[in-house]
Amino acid sequence: MSKKKLTVAISGQPASGKTTYAKFIAHKYNLRYVSSGQLFREYAREKGLSLLELHKLAEKDPSIDREIDRRALEEAKKGGVVIEGHLAAWIVKDFADVRIFFKAPLQVRSRRLAERDRKTLEEAAREILFRERSNKERAKKYYSIDLDDWSIFDLIIDTSFLNIEDIKTVLIVFMERFIRRKISRG
């Protein structure tokens, strides 16, 4: 297996750092970066809706999630990519060489989102809880996926324990050893 064909699926809780680390892995290993979240945000802009409005609409219209997931799956099939999103690892699992999940306590994620998007802590927490509930309901309803079942992941990282550089080091060690073992197995 060459690095160019490597497919990495990154999932995690909202504001857990998954985008930061997915971009890092893509850059470090010269892989393309595809974000389901960005595809979702772009779709919301195309439709003239806020992110939360599109989440509400997607709860009633499965074609929204299915279209975004179809695009992510097509990218995974090409290889040489990091696919990042709440459902990404479950959607592309048969085409992913490695699946990584990021998590952190709600208070940590709320603080991060509040700082990033210049919201109050309460607004950030409400948004995260809404998105989590919406994502879980849609995953169950449309795909029979339980987002609380993390058994498909090769690595789970709680991003509240270490700083960004330390987590990058953990990822490098994991990825280098994973790649080495995958290549040696043929």
pLDDT of 173: 97
**Residue whose tokens read 């074609």:** 63
The per-residue pLDDT for 129 is 96
Amino acid letter at 62? P
pLDDT at 157: 97
Q: Is the pLDDT of residue 2 over 60?
A: no
Residues 11-38: pLDDT tens digits?
Answer: 999 999 999 999 999 999 999 999 988 8
Segments in the chain forming alpha helices (H): 18-28, 36-47, 51-60, 62-78, 88-91, 106-117, 121-143, 164-185
List the structure tokens of 165. Answer: 């550089």
pTM (two decimals): 0.87
> Is 50 exceeded by the pLDDT of residue 3?
no
User: How confident is the model at residue 12, as a pLDDT?
Assistant: 95
**Segment 44-55, tens digit of pLDDT:** 999 899 988 998
* CA 182 vs CA 32, 34, 111: distances in Å: 20, 23, 38
Map out the domains of the chain as residue ranges. Answer: 3-174
CA-wise closest residue to 43 among 72, 17, 15, 16: 72
Query: What digits encode the pLDDT tens for the residues 124-137?
Result: 999 999 989 988 99
pLDDT one-digit tens code per residue, 65-86: 888 998 899 999 999 999 999 8
Q: How far apart are CA 90 and CA 12, in angstroms?
A: 11
Superfamily, domain 3-174: P-loop containing nucleotide triphosphate hydrolases (3.40.50.300)
Give the whole-angstrom CA distance, residue 10 versus residue 22.
Answer: 6
What percent of the chain has pLDDT above 90? 73
Residue range 147-175: mean pLDDT, rounded = 96
Round the average pLDDT of the chain to a whole number and report it.
91
- Assign 86 to helix, strand or coil: coil
Residue 186: pLDDT band by 50, 70, 90 thresholds?
low
Which residue spans within 25-154 are E strands per DSSP?
32-35, 81-84, 98-103
